Amino acid sequence: MIEPATFLILSAGVFAGAFVSGMAGFAFSAVAGAMLLHVLPPKEAVPLMMICSIAVQSISLVVLRKHLAWRGSLTLIVGGALGIPPALFLLQHADVTAFRVGFGIFLALYAAYMIFRPLAAGLRNTGGRAHEAAIGFAGGLLGGLTAMPGALPTIWCDMRGMPKDQQRGLVQPFIAAMQVFALVLLVGQNGVSSKVLLNAILALPALALGATLGIALFGKMNDVLFRRTILTVLFAAGLGLVV
């Protein structure tokens, strides 16, 4: 049985991650991992965060289904699926610590700069399937290396000046697809134990509450507040990668 102190930290971490992910659409692992990795070894914490993150994404997909743009996300998803295998190769054959730190610095600097800068109106009309596929590929590659597949597509949407519903509808299916793909690969490598599944079941109440509150807050935000929230989450996630 799990110890009471560990259960409380587990619940708090999952609640915080689910709340932020429900509100912003991503960054469950960046938030929850800050707590879970203190009480669980990585081989248990990582698959647990993947399972919980997929659960939060599933709740968001159901609640926000009217805003989802599956056709628009398909190109991103295909590109992302092609980006994950190279990331797994790099994880097995290279030290990616310096890359993660560098990407974290980029996220933090970008977010800090854009919070105080107007939207880049000149990029709003950029697009095209090849461009979207490239963004998806880079998102899948970075997601495999940093556990944040949604960071780059979110930045891309922000630079194009997308309103919050359109941005969430485009990026949410992409993140969910990347996380399911990564979990399937992990299961194929026997990376999910019965203890991980038990912890996921124990975390369900905290996960449901956090996701529900986060999605409810998302519905009350205007586009300006949502953009500042997204940039703040990107800034915090970037610092998390650096630390």
Candidates 6, 20, 11; CA nearest to 230 is: 20
pTM: 0.85
Domain spans, the chain: 4-242
The predicted structure's pLDDT at residue 71: 83
Amino acid at 179: Q
**Secondary structure (H, E, C), 123-180:** HCCCCCHHHHHHHHHHHHHHHHHHCCCCHHHHHHHHHCCCCHHHHHHHHHHHHHHHHH
Amino acid at 171: V
Write out the chain's pLDDT in tens, 243 residues.
678 888 999 999 999 999 999 999 988 988 898 888 888 888 888 889 889 999 999 999 999 898 888 888 999 999 999 998 888 788 778 777 888 889 989 999 999 988 887 655 545 555 578 889 999 999 999 888 887 888 899 999 888 888 999 999 999 999 999 988 888 887 777 667 888 899 999 999 999 999 999 999 999 999 989 999 999 999 998 898 887
CA atoms within 13 A on the CB side of 228: 6
The predicted structure's pLDDT at residue 87: 86
DSSP class of residue 40 equals S
